[in-house]
Amino acid sequence: MRAIVYAKYGPPDVVALAEVPKPRPKKREVLVRIHATTVTTADWRARSLRLPGGFSVLGRLVFGIFGPRKPILGTELAGEVEAVGDAVTRFQPGDRVFAFTGGRYGSHAQYRTIAETGLIVRMPANLGFEEAASLSFGATNALSFLRDKAGIQRGDQVLILGASGNVGTAAVQLAKHFGAQVTAVCSTANVDLVRSIGADEVIDYTQEDFAQARDRYDIIFDTTGTTSLARCEPSLKQRGRLVAVQGSLAQMLGLERASRQSGKKVIAGVAAVTAGDMELIAQLAERGALRPVIDRRYPLEDAASAHAYVDTGRKRGSVVLRVGACARHFNNDRAALQLSREVRPVRHPS
């Protein structure tokens, strides 16, 4: 099968189209023929090793000390079940599914095997493959941070920084689903977008400083890593929380603290995702309460261009890779050539 692989950390052109072995489903696995996947900020970080402050050493331990441990990136996908293992009961060939492969990656390919008990569910009937592929990264992360870590409640005042991004667009919609009053912060170009997905108020940060507000928010949800508890503290209510999705090491270690009497705190960490979260996301999408936002689409073989766009840090929602017959191939490159013998670069058709 064809896949996008990388053999060293670096700029977008370290990813390349290659021929790799097609996986076979084990007893309790399904084999998905992928129709669409995405390039997310997780792919950008794993490819470039550009990590939030304090994480550079830890990053190499996670992704591979001398080079990437997992040659195929891609955290989410949508497609059709092509085959199932002998013991699989939940899925059958032909089912349309979407899945979150998260830190296991492996979705930038024509096929991926996934445990039937993993983060895989049937696609909402009203979505196409590209939309379904764009559902899980932003929504699972937003759900984990808003509901599980921050304990969002009906009637909460929630401010979302980076509201036009992948996690941000999901966070706006999920916060509305949980009954919060949402103020979204974004640049001028994205004001209409965030309003269209349900934000009650929008702050264009080029015109106005969100931090002028006093005792206003129960939750400040920051996907941009541009703020701190010290800056947010006056805007948070008593017991308010700064949710640092892109948390620094200091924030993760709990070193950013407010006075004990205020009860204000930073919440940071890594999102934890369950199969139940995936079911909820599918249901919300089916009801129209969660609409994936797609910015650009690229063919799988142009993954390097998709990475370059994600690297700008300015995408809106998701960047999709269409996985079709891979009509156009290119013989790239150093990255592919350095891979194990199992992984062969694809040659131009003559």
CA dist 259 → 102, 190, 342 (Å): 36, 35, 56
CA dist 50 → 43, 55, 173, 253 (Å): 11, 9, 28, 20
- CB 117 → ligand NAP: shortest distance, Å? 22
- CB 291 → ligand NAP: shortest distance, Å? 15
- CB 45 → ligand NAP: shortest distance, Å? 6
DSSP state of 328: S
Q: By CB under 6 A, tell whether 267 contacts ligand NAP.
A: no
Q: By CB under 6 A, tell whether 12 contacts ligand NAP.
A: no
DSSP state of 56: H
Q: By CB under 6 A, tell whether 40 contacts ligand NAP.
A: yes
User: Under rule CB under 6 A, which residues in 75-114 are in contact with ligand NAP?
Assistant: none
Helices (H), the chain: 41-48, 56-63, 129-133, 136-143, 166-177, 191-196, 229-232, 249-252, 275-287, 303-311, 334-337
Question: Measured between alpha carbons, how far is 313 from 297 in angstroms, rounded to an integer?
Answer: 16
Written as six digits, the tokens of 217 are 């928010």
Question: Measured between alpha carbons, how far is 235 from 6 in angstroms, rounded to an integer?
Answer: 43
Exposure string of 304-342, with b = 16+ CB inside 10 Å and e = fewer, is bbbbbbbbeeebbbbbbbbbeebeeeeebbebbebbeee
User: Under rule CB under 6 A, which residues in 225-244 are in contact with ligand NAP?
Assistant: 225-226
Which residue lies nearer to ligand NAP by CB, 227 or 332?
227
Residue number of the CB closest to ligand NAP reads 165
**Hunting for tokens 């699989």 — which residue is that?**
88
Which span (9-17, 37-45, 67-75, 122-130) binds ligand NAP, by CB under 6 A? 37-45
Single-letter residue type at 277: D
Of 22, 33, 45, 216, the one binding ligand NAP by CB under 6 A: 45
User: Under rule CB under 6 A, which residues in 138-167 are in contact with ligand NAP?
Assistant: 141, 162, 164-167
Site string for ligand NAP, 189-218 (x = CB under 6 A): -x--------------x-------------
Which span (17-25, 298-306, 308-316, 326-334) binds ligand NAP, by CB under 6 A? 308-316
Of 37, 173, 224, 235, the one binding ligand NAP by CB under 6 A: 224
Q: By CB under 6 A, tell whether 53 contacts ligand NAP.
A: no
Q: By CB under 6 A, tell whether 186 contacts ligand NAP.
A: yes
Of 34, 37, 39, 41, the one binding ligand NAP by CB under 6 A: 41
Total binding residues toward ligand NAP, as defined by CB under 6 A: 26
CA dist 138 → 9, 21, 162, 286 (Å): 24, 30, 12, 17
- CB 226 → ligand NAP: shortest distance, Å? 4
Strand 2-6, strand 15-19: pairing = antiparallel
Task: Find out whether 142 and 174 touch, Cβ atoms under 8 Å.
Answer: yes
- CB 125 → ligand NAP: shortest distance, Å? 27
- CB 224 → ligand NAP: shortest distance, Å? 4
Question: Measured between alpha carbons, how far is 254 from 252 in angstroms, rounded to an integer?
Answer: 5
User: Under rule CB under 6 A, which residues in 314-333 are in contact with ligand NAP?
Assistant: 314-316
Which residue lies nearer to ligand NAP by CB, 318 or 332?
318
Give the footprint of ligand NAP on this chain (CB under 6 A).
Answer: 40-41, 45, 141, 162, 164-168, 186-187, 190, 205, 223-226, 245-246, 270-271, 313-316
